[in-house]
Structure 1
């Protein structure tokens, strides 16, 4: 019986919902850095679908898309799973009991071709042993002679051990041969001692099997007679009493196991969803299946106590409403970010690095240098792309001299002309043909909470005024509906012209016009405003809106 096996638990490095290029590239490159300096397993993840710009970047550098992580609540896979091998349905009750005793469990899973066919508990075995008095139970259960021999620690000296007992009852030959003639019927299993006459009588009555107790020798003539009558002979070292007590334990568990409506859980089930089901069942252990419905192991109610939370590193955000679903129930180990500090709470101290730079990937580039880890061309390309994206090719007011220096150094390592690459990247990001208005709005979109008001800000960057005009015509009619669908009090959508270094902001919401006018000291009418010099959501638009609302 296989015992517990330690499952290596990875750490997921993940950015915010509606991830942008900086978020995705930060997750990939930081996971790679952590793998290099620790030797442990760090996996880059994403909390949403990739936008066109990011897809272009990953495709350009031949990098696989990070795994999609919808929710990081604790799952069955995070519990201590007892890696108990499944048992066959033909196993005897005695063997099943021994397996449970050795593994110190009260439930075993019955499998066939790695699929669950039933479960057997100690209660099932005890109830069968204590309650069943039918002498024909072994034949009803289609018990194998292999099981009978093993259960009695015996030896089959006449007959085929592969046969099945399918008729007759169990009889103890305690009476005289004359009386036995009235008790033994064809096919019966007869338990007897070292009495030649009784053995011969049972064979002549066409017993299916005789069990000779106390290790007694069986005469050659008895063996010959048994072969002629088709009677099997089993010898056992146990006495008649012990054999009578043990023999029903040879029946297969298939006869007593629970087969219908077996409650199984899957590795990806969330433990908060299965607790109530577990509590309502009388047995304590439950089978666990993988995504292919194959048996993995067993869990019990007490395993909830040892369930380990998912381990996370958050990059490019520190706000609860931007984090992957279930982040508040996960174990956050680190936060690497370049935004204002907000609402993420952790259960204990964490490594937190936040610098007022234009891109999270600039911070990660600095960490590569600090740890002395070599940056290959692909990693350099990803870091560069993120910096170019977040700083709008060094034009954003969020861009610092450190960002520009990092970008130039990375361009040399990656072997790319950053101006030409940036043009291709921004063009891919603004080429939104075939996308719905909602998809365009949410391509680079973040939610914020300010004084109990839910604010949404989306942004599209382009180096082409014509592209921005086309996007505006598609998005503008759907803005109000998008705000209602997302439960937002106000929604702002930035159409940023990288060349002109300006943005046209579309807005909707009861106080959105007043807020934008107050924030920038303008007198916009309708549902749009032009903001020269405003290209950064993080450093220009959001702080101004927050201040206007709070004032």
Structure 2
């Protein structure tokens, strides 16, 4: 039995990805590929922010593929790669193929692998049992090559590529005198070795004569057949057997289903096709690839053992932050530096979570632990992630380990930390021309505490004037966004990297009071209202979220 083809594994960060989410996905996919030799693909669950775009452009790295959902798709299940056949093959050949491979359905395709129709075992049996029309062979436009193959015969006169497309099929059982009354022009006549019968059939204008039991054909008959345009075929079968078999030479195109075919694409989600499959009596359904070409067949049974996509999550473990459909995925690993969240797995997984300032620092450690080389590009990406998440070591989440990792990676990547960090932050804080939605969702995450669902966005900038202009602009939009997202509260951090201060905007019933209680910044009903200045607060993960969560859960 052939070994099962190894599935690729998606390595992906959270929605509204930041630089750590993207760079860690790329860095860890590379790590796993070096470690195992498997296929690990870095992906993203949302659009890039300007800072991350700058980093990828700087190190000339392709943007990871956007994955909007990891729900199980048709391409994730076992597709039976039943080869397609030509619509011109005979019923007998189709039947033999089905018997050899244990099939009940055969797809007919063009030479470019475009699906033309389907024929089933039932179609073949009905063609044999329910057809009583003696003209059916010509109506089906049967090629002589099919007749020769089915009757295991040989052609003496004529072209095997020609078609029998007019007349009926009959057996010359009577004497020649009687044959003259029922043989008509263009008929196909099955007969024996009697010279007189052969001669009569040709003279009556038959399109083809089939000589049974391997009988010889005289030179006179051959010459006359050539002159009259009559095809001559011989078969080792007797007349009865030849008559019984000849309908099996008809092409499957005459009987196959060609209209309103139910097909699925490789990208279709399993949840979307289950009901369609259950409502139809068909055993198998064709699968087409993105180019519309035939790929294989699936049945309802294939859905029973369907396994989700293999996924590794980096830089998050909250279900609300994860890519859509994560509940259907086969989560293999989680690499993170945040609090423990709500992602559930079916079985045990490798889970590495450390209280560090950046996921990339953990990945850097893993390269070192395994003795794997970090190339210049990966070093640059991991270093960029640490700079971003720790605000160049200004964030309280930054540890000595983060700093040491960034220094080592910068040396490998050939960059100067301060100079490169300033370029990164300037690129990330460039907000001109961006809509309110683009600004809010540049770095946005959802959380839950007690019975409260809330979201937090953050902008890091070197430009105090630019941050000041955002205060009045963003508040009205935030209220709309809160309603659209179905959240109880929504917060937005306007973080000044230079002064290490955050202006916090808040909307939602009770949100201002929660901030007042969490950070002791005054009476929410009088002074705080919808904004609060939080000196020294720059980290969403370590400073803002823990304080809000404790307050909300009290």
TM-score, length-scaled by structure 1? 0.98
Deviation, 1:520, is 0.6
Deviation, 1:517, is 0.1
Note if 1:53 corresponds to 2:56.
no
Q: Which residue of 1 aligns with 2:424?
A: 425
Q: Which residue of the other structure, out of 82, 85, 88, is the alignment partner of 1:87? A: 85
Q: Which residue of 2 aligns with 1:291?
A: 290
Q: Which residue of 1 aligns with 2:320?
A: 321
Distance in 2 between residues matched to 1:42 and 1:518, nearest whole Å: 45
Deviation, 1:139, is 0.7
Higher mean C-alpha deviation, range 193-202 or range 471-480:
471-480
Deviation, 1:476, is 2.8
Deviation, 1:118, is 0.8
Unaligned runs of 5+ in 2: none
Superposed counterparts of 1:450-489, under 5 Å: 450-489=449-488
Query: Contact 2:475–2:507 (CA<8 Å) still a contact in 1?
Result: no
Q: Which residue of 2 aligns with 1:192?
A: 191
Note if 1:39 corresponds to 2:37.
yes
Distance in 1 between residues matched to 2:553 and 2:78, nearest whole Å: 48
Q: Which residue of 2 aligns with 1:170?
A: 169
Distance in 2 between residues matched to 1:532 and 1:306, nearest whole Å: 55
Superposed counterparts of 1:141-152, under 5 Å: 141-152=140-151
Encode CA deviations 1:281-307: one digit per residue, 9 max, x unaligned.
222111110111011111111111232
Deviation, 1:7, is 4.0
Secondary structure of the residue that 2:442 maps to in structure 1?
coil
Query: Contact 1:14–1:313 (CA<8 Å) still a contact in 2?
Result: yes
CA RMSD of aligned residues (A): 1.2
Note if 1:531 corresponds to 2:541.
no
Secondary structure of the residue that 2:352 maps to in structure 1?
strand
Distance in 2 between residues matched to 1:288 and 1:301, nearest whole Å: 13
Unaligned runs of 5+ in 1: none
Distance in 2 between residues matched to 1:173 and 1:5, nearest whole Å: 57
Distance in 2 between residues matched to 1:223 and 1:449, nearest whole Å: 91
Note if 1:22 corresponds to 2:20.
yes
Q: Which residue of 2 aligns with 1:342?
A: 341
Distance in 2 between residues matched to 1:228 and 1:505, nearest whole Å: 99
Query: Contact 2:16–2:47 (CA<8 Å) still a contact in 1?
Result: yes
Q: Which residue of 2 aligns with 1:159?
A: 158
Deviation, 1:472, is 3.1
Higher mean C-alpha deviation, range 475-484 or range 375-384:
475-484
Distance in 1 between residues matched to 2:356 and 2:296, nearest whole Å: 48
Q: 1:139 to 1:4 in 2, by over 3 A?
A: farther
Query: Contact 1:107–1:283 (CA<8 Å) still a contact in 2?
Result: no
Q: Which residue of 2 aligns with 1:502?
A: 501
Secondary structure of the residue that 1:109 maps to in structure 2?
strand
Q: Which residue of 2 aligns with 1:182?
A: 181
Encode CA deviations 1:489-541: one digit per residue, 9 max, x unaligned.
10110000111111000110001110000001111422100000110100111
Deviation, 1:191, is 0.4
Distance in 2 between residues matched to 1:158 and 1:490, nearest whole Å: 88
Note if 1:543 corresponds to 2:546.
yes
Q: Which residue of 2 aligns with 1:214?
A: 213
Higher mean C-alpha deviation, range 362-371 or range 372-381:
372-381
Encode CA deviations 1:79-107: one digit per residue, 9 max, x unaligned.
11111221111111111111111121100
Q: Which residue of 2 aligns with 1:100?
A: 98
Distance in 2 between residues matched to 1:446 and 1:77, nearest whole Å: 30
Query: Contact 2:495–2:503 (CA<8 Å) still a contact in 1?
Result: yes
Encode CA deviations 1:142-177: one digit per residue, 9 max, x unaligned.
111111111111111001111111111001011111
Superposed counterparts of 1:375-390, under 5 Å: 375-390=374-389
TM-score, length-scaled by structure 2? 0.97
Deviation, 1:219, is 1.0
Deviation, 1:128, is 0.8
Q: Which residue of 2 aligns with 1:492?
A: 491
Query: Contact 1:81–1:298 (CA<8 Å) still a contact in 2?
Result: yes
Deviation, 1:473, is 4.3
Query: Contact 2:521–2:528 (CA<8 Å) still a contact in 1?
Result: no
Distance in 2 between residues matched to 1:470 and 1:60, nearest whole Å: 29
Deviation, 1:4, is 8.7
Distance in 2 between residues matched to 1:198 and 1:389, nearest whole Å: 95
Aligned residues: 549
Q: 1:136 to 1:4 in 2, by over 3 A?
A: farther
Query: Contact 1:318–1:341 (CA<8 Å) still a contact in 2?
Result: yes
Secondary structure of the residue that 1:443 maps to in structure 2?
helix
Deviation, 1:227, is 1.2
Deviation, 1:405, is 0.9
Q: Which residue of 1 aligns with 2:331?
A: 332
Query: Contact 1:4–1:81 (CA<8 Å) still a contact in 2?
Result: no
